[in-house]
Structure 1
């Protein structure tokens, strides 16, 4: 889930405010690998992703996001539902806080891995600081936390570079806490957003978490 804008059904929100003061968008994405916090969710294979997003001028937003997955088990798709609020303190500092509910399709009820996570992002000029907290990670009964930092750099000819690092920790990971890091170049051509990223973690001997080069293209309508 990219910089996370990542992602409550929107039709229920019309009671909050008329659509004339809101925006609804649809985004489609093709990527050579769906990588979440440094770990491939598609067994190093391509993914097709889509999202439906609602944003109100008050700062409220909500949406649904979906992708195919491959964990070498019965799961075949991930569908996430989210809602949150975006606010601006001044021209330098803004933030968003959201709740994301991850669901995984294909499992039996006994293998249910759905879970919720609270996410907070602070935007300070070109820096983004993030914090995630899940009290029941993948329905295990154990908590997990994620902290991250990213820095955006403007490059010539309207290219952009994002440098990112994150740390996954908590009882759910016990002695398996790990660091992920990435560098992503982005460029928009004819309303299509293209990305090229190098991603790695400090996890040893894991084919789904080693160094990888990921290409993506998306379009928002």
Structure 2
């Protein structure tokens, strides 16, 4: 398998995984990773009330570009939620027309085994071209029938001393208003951002990210149930490939 393709897959599905894999055969490779993070951040929103998160991932890759994967993390939504962990199932295809251009298309299913009414599916398309990043994730089953679209633009590069840097700016749109503010108004979208520095050192992958959203405390509380899980903050992580 070409390692350029492998690297593109790892970055597309599991951004904290470095380019290493177990070659099962001439056509199949296996990627695994375990990581500990200061919280589970998703699109600027903390899924663990800003508490630590243990994350596991496994990906089976074929030399053609097809892949299947699974990813899991603890979650904490509070307010009596029975969901204690999330497991995602992913299937997709990565096309690499040149060494510096990759296109990834696939299907992603978020599941919460102890609270299945939170389960959501998405179809996605991402592009990495010469370090510039573009992506879109569409769902038509949020909260049963609520449609949503998450899109982003970004850029990644490598600084001296092999320090990776990635910046991403995203927008999450819902069909109906889901964010309510203190003056009685509402809106159906919000913006999120992330600036991440990463480096491989002593066999581990280290990362530090500045993340946040443009949601007010009241809007955050109306959607997530807490005021402080949408604000600007730092997220730190360390992971290991296996």
Q: State the TM-score, normalized to the length of structure 1.
A: 0.88
Matched, 1:31 2:54: no
Q: Residue deviations 1:125-171, cap 9 Å, x none?
A: 0111000000111x421110010011112211000111111000021
1:14 alignment counterpart: none
Instruction: Provide the C-alpha distance between the structure 2 equivalents of 1:163 and 1:32, rounded to a whole number of angstroms.
Output: 19
Matched residues, number:
206
Matched, 1:187 2:211: no
Q: Residue deviations 1:87-136, cap 9 Å, x none?
A: 112234221001000001322x6xx1112100110111011100000011
1:190 CA drift (Å) = 2.3
1:196 pairs, out of 208, 212, 220, with: 208
56 and 183 in structure 1: CA distance in 2 versus 1, 3 angstrom threshold: same
1:20 CA drift (Å) = 3.1
CA RMSD of aligned residues (A): 1.8
Q: Residue deviations 1:3-34, cap 9 Å, x none?
A: 64149xxxxxxxxxx84311012110100010
State the SS of the aligned residue for 1:136: strand
1:152 pairs, out of 147, 153, 156, with: 156
64 and 97 in structure 1: CA distance in 2 versus 1, 3 angstrom threshold: same
State the SS of the aligned residue for 1:20: coil
Instruction: Provide the C-alpha distance between the structure 1 equivalents of 2:33 and 2:41, rounded to a whole number of angstroms.
Output: 18
State the SS of the aligned residue for 1:89: strand
1:55 CA drift (Å) = 0.7
Matched, 1:85 2:93: yes
State the SS of the aligned residue for 2:121: strand
1:100 pairs, out of 91, 99, 108, with: 108
**Contact 1:144/1:172 (CA < 8 Å) preserved in 2?**
no
Instruction: Provide the C-alpha distance between the structure 1 equivalents of 2:241 and 2:132, rounded to a whole number of angstroms.
Output: 24
1:120 alignment counterpart: 125
Residue segments in structure 2 that go unaligned for 5+ positions in a row: 1-9, 16-23, 179-186, 218-226
93 and 25 in structure 1: CA distance in 2 versus 1, 3 angstrom threshold: closer
Instruction: Provide the C-alpha distance between the structure 2 equivalents of 1:129 and 1:105, rounded to a whole number of angstroms.
Output: 31
2:60 pairs, out of 48, 54, 67, with: 54
State the SS of the aligned residue for 1:157: helix
2:236 alignment counterpart: 215
**Contact 1:31/1:47 (CA < 8 Å) preserved in 2?**
yes
Residue segments in structure 1 that go unaligned for 5+ positions in a row: 8-17
Q: State the TM-score, normalized to the length of structure 2.
A: 0.81
2:75 pairs, out of 69, 81, 85, with: 69
1:166 pairs, out of 165, 170, 183, with: 170
